[in-house]
Amino acid sequence: MIKITHLLLAISSIVIIETSVIAQVIDKDFKTSYSHFKIPDNIQPNDYMANTVIVKLKPQYRSISSANTIEDVLFKQLYTSIGGAGLVKKFPHSPPPASAVNRSGQQLMDLSLIYEFTYSASVSLEKVINKFAQLPLFQYAEPHYIPHLHYVPNDPLLSVQYAITNIQAENAWGINTTTARGDTNIVIGIVDTGTEPTHEDLKSQIKHNYADKIGGGDTDGDGYIDNFSGWDLGMNDNNPTWEGSAHGVHTSGIAAAAVNNAKGIAGVGFNCKFLPIKIADATGTLTKSYEGITYAADHGCSVISCSWGGTGWSQMGQDVVTYATINKNALVIASAGNDNKDLASYPAAYQYVISVANVRSDDRRSASSTWNYSVDLSAPGEAIRSTYSGNSYADLTGTSMSAPCVAGAAAIVHAFYPSYTALQIGERLKVTTDNNYSLMNPSFKDKLGTGRLNLYKALTMANTSPSVVTTQRNIIDGNDNTFVIGDTLQLRDNYTNYLAPTTNLIATLSTTSPYVTIVNGTATLGAVATLGTANNSSTPYKVKIASTAPLNQPIIFKITFSDAATSYTAVEYFTVVVNVDYINITINDVATTVNSRGRIGYNLDNQVGGLGFNYMNKGTIMYEGGLMIGVDSGRVSDAIRGFTTVPENEFQSLVNVRKIVPATVSDFDVDGTFNDNLAKIPIKIKVHQKTYAWASAGNRKFVIVQYVISNTGTSPLTNLYAGVFADWDIDATTFKEDRTGFDATNKMGYAYYTGANGTYGGVKLLTKSAPVLNYAMDNIAGGAGGIDPFTGGYNGFDKYSTLSSNRYNAGVAGTGNDILDVVSTGPYTIAAGDSIKVAFALIAGDNLPDIQISAVNAQIKYDGIVTTTSISQNTMLNNPDVMSVYPNPTNGESIININILETASVELKIFNLLGAEIKTIASEKMQAGTHRLSYDTSALSNGLYYYQLTVDNKKYIHKLMVSK
């Protein structure tokens, strides 16, 4: 049925082409107006029957017709003059419809008045058709077109490639023999585990770099020696042959296996080439994943296929994708994941990436496929036959198979629409899918993208559909940008229309959540041209957070785009977490989380809500972490495990942690406050925590946490110790091959995996007001002679002992143990109403010298923080003696005056309210004196921005209001 439907669509398209060349003429013999027919130039003689005409009678002449006659004098004269013969009804078994319209008022089709005949005269078909078209009897006269089987290659395994049929690739390839079958200059980057360059179905499809043929040198100067046939980033050589896993061999074939070579399978990309980019090491571990995307973008790939991912978001990952897409105009396509759950996977869920879910041969969701609002479309991915190792073929299942299917289709669309940008190609694929949601459980609605890929429609559907996407979203609450109960959020969005123009585009915000109220949810965006932009800055969406909102409540919002004139509708989802009490820090190589109640790594137990302590995007090396403060064995306040592995949760948030925008101390500042009122026996303390992280070289492998601990009671606190507890799980396989150590020089307790090339994690004391202590525990029965948290739990007595005493080594026997570690400082005495400050660096690295270097750098950074913050916050945030801005508000040029007391390194940047850098205005050495700088704000949307001035180690912030 699907094939027949699209065959009819193909014929309809021919009719459209025909009518485009119709001209009104007057026939001198019949003195009547008619439409002149001409066979279109793209129709070949074998596309229609010679000397054969099809006509359709007008309904009012039904009475003069029968099965094989038309009783009309003029018709019979013309019919006889050309040697007409064999007049018959085309559909003799189709009676006239009983009524003109159906119950919906739609016109019913009458096939009973269609006739066909042949003729023997030596007269052109065009002339004969035009003669009959002049008669008043007929609605139309036309040739008998011959439909062909849409292109069927001779690859012997094509019959088992149901995906080729489902996405209508053969029909698409059959549109014409050039652009619809791709282009050898269009390259698909297969960023995977490597390929098999000698495979019979792949060897002819590899894109070779003729600027750097094999010869032992870097002929093209790109930094890679002899990268003639791709590159192995995992092993840093020019042989992209797979190692560890043949996964990449399979994905290569799906996207780009040779077609019509009488061998194996057919790749969706037909004539398009592929560039094998191996990102795995010898074991198959993906060690160079995002480097692979960059390599593909830099080496001419217009489509990049990534059949891999994870749940960890990183700014680097987004930056790489942005580079490939925006800088290099390459479309990144990624698999959505095989977790069988509602989950965002990366890189698939990054902005600009086309995320692909997996559907079966019957278009239902594959049982293993991830689903999520971040998915853009679906493609076949279950039991997919493709190339495999040893010059063989194999059936594999997963979104890994779906992504290269879409990548191959994207390459064909690129060849067919060469003027399209990468993002336009992606949007074209999205708006031309087949809607298969009627086959899905309602819970998957909008979570498998717009539907299942249809390559034929992507090439043939008229270019009348817009495709509007949110390209920037600014959310503010008018104060501290910590979205808590009672706040009214303003959402200002920028939109881009990638395809056909809109006429009167409306965007509507909605949600089903009871925890917010939409005060204003409609934006009239109007006419938006192709590649044009629009925004709702003048009338932002407004959302009020209800008093009933739970902590860390995710609110799913839906944007519905509609344009009645073009019949365009589309939806887009995004999530805003309100009443939050944790922050993810992903600015450098140690992605982690801090919450509002003293926990580090995760917001809740069982690794819920957070990133752990993720070094170099390899996965977390910490199961649990957090602050402990104790004054005796009966009074220890913390938010980590107790008698069981469930956290004590004795800290209560007073001010939820929030990102300081823009950052004033580091590149990512976090601030929050809590007390210990939830403890069974409170110490009566308040803790003001600050967290700092940097993205600069030398400072990327640590995060600093600082705690100002205040005595809120009426009596002095004595023998107070404060420390960071860490359950290190550096060995990700068994968690039982870790060992601890202590570096007295750097005041750092650390843990490491005892196997080869083991990662190191550590906690370093930064403050100097009390000594460092380190207690390491073996998390096994008996505790290996130390405190035993494994058998009896981690009670208050044990906690105070580990805070106030030393045991430097754990996991010393054999290959190590499951270990825990506490790095602390004390004793302190805090008078009533007074406070102390303690700070620690959380560090990860490749080896001991690596974390020791970071320990030194962390100390330098922290000492600089202490110096810098000796200036009052008000002075730092707004010091007119140092920086002044006018006019403010502004609708155009903004003038910034800077007063420098002595020669210094000066940097001036402007940020939006989300902390995203808009531009570096100046970065130079300046002499003492007053300097006048300017910045043109005409490209900025209305709203609040910040200038950040850095003079040597000191930062100054000044607000800027743009109002047009």
Q: How confident is the model at residue 285 (pLDDT cuts 50, 70, 90)?
A: confident
Please tell me the predicted confidence (pLDDT) of residue 7: 22
Mean pLDDT value of segment 408-429: 96
Strands (E), 193-312: 231-232, 273-278, 303-306
Residue 524, number of CB atoms within 10 A of its CB: 12
Mean pLDDT value of segment 178-189: 89
Residue 375, number of CB atoms within 10 A of its CB: 26
DSSP string, 624-656: EEEEEEEEETTEEEESSB-SSSSB----EEEEE
Percent with pLDDT over 70 in the chain: 89
> How far is 838 from 687, CA to CA, in rounded Å?
10
Please tell me the predicted confidence (pLDDT) of residue 145: 63
* For the ranges 189-193, 891-895, 911-915, the one whose mean pLDDT is highest: 189-193
Output the CA–CA distances (angstroms, integers) from residue 28 to 34, 73, 125, 128, 131, in the order listed. 11, 18, 20, 16, 11
Least confident of 193-202, 221-230, 510-519, 546-555: 546-555
Please tell me the predicted confidence (pLDDT) of residue 176: 74
Residue 88, number of CB atoms within 10 A of its CB: 11
Question: Is 24's pLDDT higher than 70?
Answer: no
What type of residue is 446?
Answer: D
Output the CA–CA distances (angstroms, integers) from residue 849 to 620, 732, 766, 821, 846, in the order listed. 21, 22, 18, 20, 8
Q: What's the predicted TM-score (pTM) here?
A: 0.57
Residues 6+ apart with CB under 8 A from 222: 212, 298, 299
| Catalytic annotation present for 192 | yes
Are 433 and 454 spatial neighbours (Cβ–Cβ below 8 Å)? yes
Question: Is 4's pLDDT higher than 60?
Answer: no
Q: How confident is the model at residue 839 (pLDDT cuts 50, 70, 90)?
A: very high
Please tell me the predicted confidence (pLDDT) of residue 107: 56
Q: Can you say how many angstroms the Cα of residue 583 is from the centroid of all Cα atoms in its chain?
A: 20
Q: How confident is the model at residue 12 (pLDDT cuts 50, 70, 90)?
A: very low
Residues 6+ apart with CB under 8 A from 26: 32, 33
SS (H, E, C) 807-840: ECCCCCCCCCECEEEEEEEEEEEECCCCEEEEEE
Residue 803 or residue 8, greater confidence: 803
Packing angle, helices 399-416 and 422-431, rounded to 10: 110
Query: Terminal CA-to-CA distance of the chain, rounded, Å?
Result: 56
Mean pLDDT value of segment 653-680: 89
Strand partners, 613: 592
Please tell me the predicted confidence (pLDDT) of residue 180: 81
Q: Can you say how many angstroms the Cα of residue 606 is from the centroid of all Cα atoms in its chain?
A: 26
Residue 655 or residue 525, greater confidence: 525
Catalytic residue chosen out of the listed positions 112, 289, 314, 400 = 400
| Catalytic annotation present for 93 | no
Q: What six digits make up the tokens of 847?
A: 């080896």
Catalytic residue chosen out of the listed positions 6, 247, 299, 958 = 247
Please tell me the predicted confidence (pLDDT) of residue 191: 94
Please tell me the predicted confidence (pLDDT) of residue 214: 92
Question: Is 257's pLDDT higher than 50?
Answer: yes
> How far is 753 from 761, CA to CA, in rounded Å?
9
Q: What are phi and psi of 195, to 5 degrees?
A: -130, -170
Q: How confident is the model at residue 34 (pLDDT cuts 50, 70, 90)?
A: very low
Output the CA–CA distances (angstroms, integers) from residue 876 to 665, 691, 754, 958, in the order listed. 10, 18, 46, 9
Q: What six digits make up the tokens of 764?
A: 């370093």
Query: Mapping DSSP to helix (H, G, I), strand (E, B) and coil, where does residue 304 land?
Result: strand
Packing angle, helices 247-256 and 399-416, rounded to 10: 30
Please tell me the predicted confidence (pLDDT) of residue 241: 97
Mean pLDDT value of segment 697-706: 96
Residue 45: Cβ-neighbour burial (10 angstroms; 0-12, 13-18, 19+): exposed
Relative to beta strand 303-306, strand 187-192 is: parallel
Q: Is 104 left (phi over 0), alpha (psi -120 to 50) or beta?
A: alpha
Least confident of 78-92, 103-117, 407-421, 584-598: 103-117
Q: How confident is the model at residue 914 (pLDDT cuts 50, 70, 90)?
A: low
Are 527 and 570 spatial neighbours (Cβ–Cβ below 8 Å)? no
What type of residue is 713?
Answer: G
Question: Is 614's pLDDT higher than 70?
Answer: yes
> How far is 938 from 925, CA to CA, in rounded Å?
28
Q: How confident is the model at residue 481 (pLDDT cuts 50, 70, 90)?
A: low
Q: How many CA atoms lie within 13 A of 891 on its CB side?
A: 2
Residue 29 or residue 48, greater confidence: 48
Please tell me the predicted confidence (pLDDT) of residue 174: 87
Question: Is 897's pLDDT higher than 50?
Answer: yes
Length of the chain: 964
Q: Is 77 left (phi over 0), alpha (psi -120 to 50) or beta?
A: alpha
What type of residue is 399?
Answer: T
Q: How confident is the model at residue 875 (pLDDT cuts 50, 70, 90)?
A: very low
Mean pLDDT value of segment 126-140: 84
Q: Can you say how many angstroms the Cα of residue 545 is from the centroid of all Cα atoms in its chain?
A: 27
Catalytic residue chosen out of the listed positions 110, 183, 192, 818 = 192
Angle 229-230-233 from CA coordinates, rounded to 5°: 145
Mean pLDDT value of segment 24-43: 41
Q: What six digits make up the tokens of 501?
A: 């123009």
Question: Is 690's pLDDT higher than 90?
Answer: yes
Please tell me the predicted confidence (pLDDT) of residue 755: 87
Question: Is 178's pLDDT higher than 80?
Answer: no
**pLDDT, averaged across the chain:** 87
Question: Is 19's pLDDT higher than 70?
Answer: no
- pLDDT tens, position by position, 735-794: 789 999 999 999 999 999 998 878 999 999 999 999 999 999 999 999 999 999 998 889
Residue 128, number of CB atoms within 10 A of its CB: 21
Q: How confident is the model at residue 645 (pLDDT cuts 50, 70, 90)?
A: low
Q: How confident is the model at residue 953 (pLDDT cuts 50, 70, 90)?
A: confident
Mean pLDDT value of segment 534-541: 94
Least confident of 10-19, 87-96, 548-557: 10-19
Q: How confident is the model at residue 21 (pLDDT cuts 50, 70, 90)?
A: very low
Least confident of 21-25, 59-63, 208-212, 296-300: 21-25
Mean pLDDT value of segment 313-341: 89
Please tell me the predicted confidence (pLDDT) of residue 139: 83
What torsion do the CA atoms of 714, 716, 718, 720 make, to the nearest 10 degrees? 60
What type of residue is 559?
Answer: I
- Residue 691, H or E segment: strand 685-693
Mean pLDDT value of segment 360-386: 94
Question: Is 80's pLDDT higher than 50?
Answer: yes
DSSP string, 332-384: EEEE--SSSSB---BTTTSTT-EEEEEE-TTSSBPTT--B-TT--EEEE-SSE
Are 337 and 312 spatial neighbours (Cβ–Cβ below 8 Å)? no
Residues 6+ apart with CB under 8 A from 335: 306, 307, 308, 309, 345, 348, 355, 356, 358, 398, 399, 400, 402, 403
Q: What six digits make up the tokens of 851?
A: 């974390």
Least confident of 417-426, 575-584, 707-716, 861-870: 861-870
Of the candidates 294, 288, 277, the residue with the CA atom closest to the CA atom of residue 328: 294
Residues 6+ apart with CB under 8 A from 31: none
Query: Mapping DSSP to helix (H, G, I), strand (E, B) and coil, where does residue 452 land?
Result: strand
Q: What six digits make up the tokens of 165?
A: 């049929």
Are 705 and 724 spatial neighbours (Cβ–Cβ below 8 Å)? yes
Please tell me the predicted confidence (pLDDT) of residue 109: 64
Q: What six digits make up the tokens of 445?
A: 């609605």
What type of residue is 412?
Answer: I
Q: How confident is the model at residue 563 (pLDDT cuts 50, 70, 90)?
A: very high
Residues 6+ apart with CB under 8 A from 417: 424, 425, 428
**Helix, strand, coil shares of the chain as percentages rounded to 5?**
20, 35, 45
Are 413 and 275 spatial neighbours (Cβ–Cβ below 8 Å)? no
Please tell me the predicted confidence (pLDDT) of residue 287: 83
Mean pLDDT value of segment 108-113: 74
> How far is 770 from 825, CA to CA, in rounded Å?
6
Q: What six digits make up the tokens of 752?
A: 């490491």
Please tell me the predicted confidence (pLDDT) of residue 874: 37
Question: Is 185's pLDDT higher than 50?
Answer: yes
Q: What are phi and psi of 526, to 5 degrees?
A: 75, -145
Q: Using the Cα atoms of residue 545, residue 548, residue 553 and residue 554 in order, give the sign of their dihedral.
A: negative
Of the candidates 426, 313, 311, the residue with the CA atom closest to the CA atom of residue 377: 426
Relative to beta strand 303-306, strand 273-278 is: unpaired
Least confident of 456-460, 714-718, 891-895: 891-895
Q: How confident is the model at residue 567 (pLDDT cuts 50, 70, 90)?
A: very high
Please tell me the predicted confidence (pLDDT) of residue 944: 79
